[in-house]
Amino acid sequence: MVEKYKVLIGGEWGDSASGETSEVVNPANGEVVATVPKCGAGEVDACVTAAAAAFPEWSGKTVAERSKLLLELSRLIMANQESLARLETMEHGSPIRKTMNFDVPLCAEQLEYFAGVARGITGETLPVGPWCLSMTVRQPLGVVGLITPWNFPALMVVWKLGAALAMGNTCIVKPPSIAPLTALKLGGLAMEAGIPKGVVNVITGPGETVGEALVGHPGVAKIGFTGDTATGKRIMRVASDTVKQVGLELGGKNAFVILEDADVDSAVEGAVFGAYFNTGQVCAAASRFYVHQSLYDEFSEKFVAASKTLRLGDTMDFATVLGPVAYKGHRDKIAGFVERAKNSGAKLLFEGERPSAPALQEGYFVAPTIFGDCTNDMELMRDEIFGPVVGLSRFGSPDEAIGLVNDTPYGLSASIWTKDTRAGLAMASQIQAGTVWINEHLIIFCETPWGGCKESGWGKDLSKMVFDEYTMTKHIYVDLTGQPVKPWYGILK
SS (H, E, C) 420-466: CHHHHHHHHHHCCCCEEEECCCCCCCCCCCECCEECCEECCECCCCH
* Identity of the residue, 115 or 214, whose beta carbon is nearer to ligand NDP in the bound complex: 214
* Helix, strand, or coil (residue 416): strand
Question: Does the protein bind ligand NDP through residue 235 (CB under 6 A)?
Answer: yes
* Identity of the residue, 235 or 381, whose beta carbon is nearer to ligand NDP in the bound complex: 235
Note if 72 is an active site residue: no
From the list 35-43, 89-97, 142-150, 186-194, the region that binds ligand NDP by CB under 6 A is 142-150
Residue in 283, 414, 431, 466 binding ligand NDP, rule: CB under 6 A: 283
Q: State yes or no: cis peptide before 130, omega within 30 of 0.
A: yes
Residue in 147, 184, 291, 442 binding ligand NDP, rule: CB under 6 A: 147
Region 411-450 residues binding ligand NDP, contact defined as CB under 6 A: none
Binding mask 161-180 for ligand NDP (x = CB under 6 A): -------------x-xxx--
* Cα angle for residues 431, 436, 441 (degrees, 5° grid): 130
* Helix, strand, or coil (residue 474): strand
Residues in the chain: 493
* H or E, element range at 81: helix 81-92
Residue 387: CA count within 13 A, CB half-sphere: 28
- Shortest Å, Cβ 134 to ligand NDP: 39
Distance CA 376, CA 391 (A): 10
Distance CA 38, CA 89 (A): 22
Question: Does the protein bind ligand NDP through residue 158 (CB under 6 A)?
Answer: no
Distance CA 423, CA 398 (A): 9
* Helix, strand, or coil (residue 280): helix
Q: Is 58 exposed, middle or buried (0-12, 13-18, 19+ CB in 10 A)?
A: buried
* Identity of the residue, 229 or 300, whose beta carbon is nearer to ligand NDP in the bound complex: 229
Residue in 6, 234, 342, 464 binding ligand NDP, rule: CB under 6 A: 234
- Shortest Å, Cβ 130 to ligand NDP: 50
* Identity of the residue, 209 or 430, whose beta carbon is nearer to ligand NDP in the bound complex: 209
- Amino acid identity of 283? C
| Catalytically annotated residue among 39, 107, 171, 283 | 283
Residue in 80, 151, 201, 315 binding ligand NDP, rule: CB under 6 A: 151
Q: Are strands 413-417 and 254-258 parallel, antiparallel or unpaired?
A: parallel
- Shortest Å, Cβ 232 to ligand NDP: 7
Note if 446 is an active site residue: no
Region 357-396 residues binding ligand NDP, contact defined as CB under 6 A: 384, 386
Binding mask 250-279 for ligand NDP (x = CB under 6 A): xx----------------------------
Question: Does the protein bind ligand NDP through residue 5 (CB under 6 A)?
Answer: no
Residue in 226, 315, 408, 432 binding ligand NDP, rule: CB under 6 A: 226
Question: Does the protein bind ligand NDP through residue 287 (CB under 6 A)?
Answer: no
Question: Does the protein bind ligand NDP through residue 149 (CB under 6 A)?
Answer: yes
* Identity of the residue, 368 or 387, whose beta carbon is nearer to ligand NDP in the bound complex: 387
- Shortest Å, Cβ 363 to ligand NDP: 18
Number of residues that bind ligand NDP (CB under 6 A): 28
Distance CA 373, CA 344 (A): 10
Contact (CB, 8 A) for 181 and 5: yes
Packed helices 104-118 and 155-166: angle between N→C axes, nearest 10 degrees: 10
* Cα angle for residues 378, 267, 288 (degrees, 5° grid): 15
Question: Does the protein bind ligand NDP through residue 82 (CB under 6 A)?
Answer: no
From the list 82-90, 149-157, 286-294, 401-409, the region that binds ligand NDP by CB under 6 A is 149-157
- Amino acid identity of 426? A
| Contacts made by residues 101-108, CB under 8 angstroms, sequence distance 24+ | 103/152, 103/154, 103/155, 104/77, 104/78, 104/154, 105/78, 105/81, 106/155, 106/158, 107/74, 107/77, 107/154, 107/155, 107/158, 107/186, 108/74, 108/75, 108/77, 108/78
* Identity of the residue, 292 or 330, whose beta carbon is nearer to ligand NDP in the bound complex: 330
Question: Does the protein bind ligand NDP through residue 123 (CB under 6 A)?
Answer: no
- Shortest Å, Cβ 279 to ligand NDP: 12
The contact set with ligand NDP (CB under 6 A) reads 147-151, 174, 176-178, 206-208, 211-212, 215, 226-228, 231, 234-235, 249-251, 283, 330, 384, 386
The residues assigned a catalytic role are 249, 283
